[in-house]
Amino acid sequence: MLDESASGTVDLLERICVPVPAIVIGELLGVPADRYAELRDAATAMVTFDASSKESATRLVGAVTWLAETFTNVVRSKHSAPGDDLISGWVRARDDADILSEDELVSLAFLMMLAGLDNAVHLCGNIFAALLTSKDPLGDWSTRRREVTEAANPLPFAIRRFAVENMTIGDHTIPEGDTVLLSLFGADSDPARDGRPSLMFGRGPHYCLGAQVTDLIVDATIPELFVRYPHVRLAVPESELEYRSSWRAHGLVTLPVTLAR
Ligand code: HEM
């Protein structure tokens, strides 16, 4: 990450945006601190996966295998030595009520990691990019934070839904069985939104479980960079920032900046 000695040009995505959420989610789940470096590497392999590269696919398989083994060991260890973390809470719930198998607990840990990591990484990257290309990068962060965060949302669509019956919305019919992609970007930029809260974290029973964690991650990463490096600036023109070619997440490939105090 960025310690006091960091200087010159660095990739903020690699140095801050990937490792911080990996550590925060790891800590939340109760992964031992001495595994954070591997967690960060597994996380990097996941969020940088390039389907056209064999090497990247091999890295991804290694990362997923490591994560499955690690989560399985964490779930087992929390049974005899519970802590103040999410997996310990799930294990307690399982032991008390005899619900959730070990496989289900490991899958839940994976869900938290997968649902959270990519979004948090790209949200931080998009916020940094927006601030670094604005006139007054940090400004009064506490008053701008909500607006900047919502504008930097990396998640265009909600999780897939399936029509369980024929549905008519406006003059459009969605036939039973069709897959439905709900556009969060579309809803949030709807001129008729009229003060309705952002759908960035969804709504209703599937409201994002990590919304508060995201706030923590954003507050732990964004202001600190500008406090430590008040003259930090993009190392390339804004037009040369490269975004991932993905319909799933609107995020950067790299975010090169020049650190300056
Ligand atoms: C930028 C950050 C994030 C964004 C924009 C985001 C957005 C969302 C959205 C829109 C949903 C609802 C999807 C739907 O209804 O189809 C969701 C669900 C979820 N999110 Fe997040 N999320 C973020 C970060 C996180 C983090 C950090 C975690 C975990 C540590 C997390 C865990 C989850 C989980 C587990 C669900 C599924 C909840 C359910 O189905 O009941 N998210 N998220």
Quick one: how far is CA 81 from the chain centroid?
29
The confidence score (pLDDT) of residue 1 equals: 65
**pLDDT confidence tier of residue 2, bands split at 50, 70 and 90:** low
DSSP class per residue in 191-213: GGGTTPPP-TT--GGG--TTHHH
Q: Is the pLDDT assigned to residue 206 strictly greater than 80? A: yes
Q: Is the pLDDT assigned to residue 183 strictly greater than 90? A: yes
Average pLDDT over residues 173-201: 94
Which pLDDT tens digit goes with each residue over 130-176? 999 988 877 788 888 999 999 999 999 999 999 999 999 999 999 99
Q: Is the pLDDT assigned to residue 258 strictly greater than 80? A: yes
Q: How far is the CA of 139 from the centre of ligand 1 (A)?
A: 28
Q: How far is the CA of 201 from the centre of ligand 1 (A)?
A: 6
State which fold the 8-154+208-259 domain adopts. Answer: Cytochrome p450 (1.10.630)
Which pLDDT tens digit goes with each residue over 57-91? 999 999 999 999 999 999 999 988 999 999 999 99
Looking at residue 30, its amino acid is G
Residues with CB under 6 A from ligand 1: 25, 111-112, 115-116, 119-120, 123, 153, 155, 158-159, 184, 200-202, 206, 208-210, 213-214
Average pLDDT over residues 185-195: 92
Which pLDDT tens digit goes with each residue over 7-59? 789 999 989 998 899 899 999 999 999 998 888 888 888 877 888 889 999 99
Q: Is the pLDDT assigned to residue 199 strictly greater than 70? A: yes
**Hey, whose CA ends up nearest to atom 12 of ligand 1?**
202
Q: How far is the CA of 249 from the centre of ligand 1 (A)?
A: 13
Contact (Cβ atoms closer than 8 angstroms) between residue 75 and residue 109: yes
Q: Is the pLDDT assigned to residue 3 strictly greater than 80? A: no
Contact (Cβ atoms closer than 8 angstroms) between residue 87 and residue 29: yes
The confidence score (pLDDT) of residue 252 equals: 94
**CA separation (Å) from 153 to 51, 149, 218?**
24, 6, 12
Helices of type H across the chain = 12, 19-29, 36-47, 54-80, 86-97, 102-132, 141-151, 184-188, 211-228
Both tokens assigned to 199 = 């759908």
Q: How far apart are CA 201 and CA 3, in angstroms?
A: 32
**Hey, whose CA ends up nearest to atom 13 of ligand 1?**
158
Listed by start position, the domains of the chain span 8-154+208-259, 156-199
**pLDDT confidence tier of residue 4, bands split at 50, 70 and 90:** low
**Hey, whose CA ends up nearest to atom 25 of ligand 1?**
116
Give the predicted TM-score (pTM) of the model. 0.89
194 CB burial (10 A radius; 0-12, 13-18, 19+): exposed
**CA separation (Å) from 20 to 60, 108, 127, 221, 222?**
20, 21, 14, 8, 11
Average pLDDT, the chain: 90
